[in-house]
Structures are given as C-alpha cells and as structure tokens.
Structure 1
C-alpha cells in the first residue's frame, strides 16, 4: 500500500495511527500541503478533492477520506479492532470520532485558515481566535462524553477509531497553543495513547518529511 499524506495533516495522522495499530506496512508518499503540492495535476489524477490522505491499495484502487480509509482497514484487517463488537459501542465510537473529524477539523484545516486570511482579510489574531474557539468547543463536548463512560481510552481499555481522531487534534491544539485546561479525561486518554508504540511511530516528528 502507498499512503499519500502530509506529516502535519490531522487526517493523514489518523490513518497512520490505524496502519501502525494494525501492523500494516505501507510506502510513505509525502504531499507538501503548505507548498501546494496537493493542487498539482498529478495529485489531482489520484483524487478529485485534491486532499490528503489517499491510500493506494495493492490492486491499484485508491481510497480517500480518512474515516472511510480507517473503516476499510478495520473491515479488511479486523485485528486489533478499532470499532467495538456491539452496535451501541460502535455508534458511540463513531460519534466521538465525528466530534473531531466533522465538527472541529473542517473549520480549522489549512485551506479554511488560508481563506480566512486571504479572502476574508482576517489578521493573525483573528485567525487564531477562530481556531482556538472551535477547538475548545469541540474538546469540551468530547470531555463531557468521556465523563459518561470512563475508560483508559476514549471507549474502554483499548484504542479505537475515536482515539485515531482525538490524538492528532490534541497535537494540533498544543501546536497552536489552545486552552486545554480542565480537559483532564481527554489528556489522560492522550497520555495513554502516546504510551503506545503505534501512536509514537505515527506522530508527525517520526515522518520522513518532518525535517
């Protein structure tokens, strides 16, 4: 498999975590978002969205959208499972993952921030206020969900799809100096995840294009 991704991309980071949790080898293909490499015609031939990640399978098929990629990996390589066995548990994990992937991340990804600056003329302070507002709002909701069903990880005592989404968001929150005060359950889950080799191997600083 070949993973077209960018080391600081949250969506790419999610997929790398899943691949490492499952012990699946892949070729790392860097796409530098800040340099605009995702806008090239060559990359556009891989995905109409011009977004990372893209996972090329051994048979030539290409998968896009991080959540769909992770669920594909979970269905085709069931162990260790990233979704619970019970329907209620699967719904909870998907909901937690979507708090990050559907509520927080879309408002704060690179192209949105660039639009704020270049098209809407937001200055740096306004851009960062926007970013931190949406991160904090989403993480407070996530924290409240964790209080309903405590566990070592987001759901129970093993990492799931939800943790694949949460950890990259915390990395970005720390990078942009977001307020994480009082999010004790989230940070406990984050620490539990980062104690695992799979999360360490997937983090941005471990990527070949991080230098």
Structure 2
C-alpha cells in the first residue's frame, strides 16, 4: 500500500470512528429470514452434531436470518444478541468430550483484570473487549447459558475459577439427568440490549493526528487539481 493510500485510509478510519461514536449505527442486524429450502439443503451436508444444533435452534427460534455454507446466524433471538451455529466442529474436552458447534452472544463488559480468570475457567468463553460482548461456544444452548452464568459469577466475585469449574460439572450432570438445573435453563443476571463499546484511549498525539489530516487534505486537493479524484 502506497503512502497516499495509507493516509487516505487513516483519514477514512478517523472519520468513521467519529461518526459511529457521535451518531451510532456501527452494527446492523439482518431483519429478513433465510429461505428454509436453502437452509435445509445446506444443513443436510453437515455432520451430526452441527445438524442437531441447527435443527434444535430452528425449532426454538424459527428460521435463521442468514445462512451460508458454513454457518447459520440469528439476531436478537430470545435472550441473545446473536446466535451462530457452525458447520465446522471444534473438539473440547471440558467438562466432558464434545464438539463446539453453537455460539451465543450477549452485550457484557468484562473488567480487564478478570480476563485471565475467564480464560482459565473455560476456553470456549470468548471476550470481545472493544465490541463489549461475551460469547460462549459449546454443543448446546443450555451449556452456553451455564457457562455465561458462571462467567458472571466469576466477574462479580461470587465464585473463583476452581469453584466455577466444579459447579459447571455439577450443573451439567444435573441437567443431563433431568434434575433441576436453573443455571443451565436461564441467564441469572440482567443483560443490556444497548451496545457499549470499549474504545480504549488515543495514544497517537494530537499533533500527529493533525499532520495526518493535513496530509490527507493535501493529497485530496492535489488530486482535484489534477483531475484524478474519483
């Protein structure tokens, strides 16, 4: 990438950041639904666990909003900001051998000092710091509900990592034996519908930003004078 393109890109990026933080609208969701004939033709080629997760999610929430060869996506379904069922399986042995095929997302801000604890708790709990999201990926939605409830317990210091892992095993066993398992049935904490980004801090000095803007303007003016701006 040439310097001119780099500076143009930087200018566009700064303008986009200002627009999003001022006016909002960074993320849009698909409100239409995928054609079920298309969905079925895609899913029929998937492996058993992915196919099972896909049809269970369709039974509960209806057709996905988007469907590609490798995933189905729902937006704002039930308690979730987004749900993705994947064709491709990821092997995972905690708390028992299974494959991760469904991922559920919520808006949630995790304090930075808790990142390490959550990584130790469950490698399939993902934190999106900038986006202000947390997701859990497992073999079924109930397992994701359980993981997120325990994630919250760790964040609020109700449980430490080892206690949370132990409770995960206990609740999973109860759920599979059809005993009462509230932690696997419903989120036990309020979830916001409002997006809250962690935009971090500007570390490039104001003078450097000013120079970049001036350079971009110079390039634009030169191109206009030479008839090269499209």
Q: Same fold judged by TM-score > 0.5? A: no
TM-score by length of 1: 0.26
The structure in which a higher percent of residues are helix is 1
Higher relative CO (CA 8 A, sep ≥ 6), structure 1 or 2?
A: 1
TM-score by length of 2: 0.25
Which of 1 and 2 has greater Rg?
Answer: 2
The structure in which a higher percent of residues are strand is 2
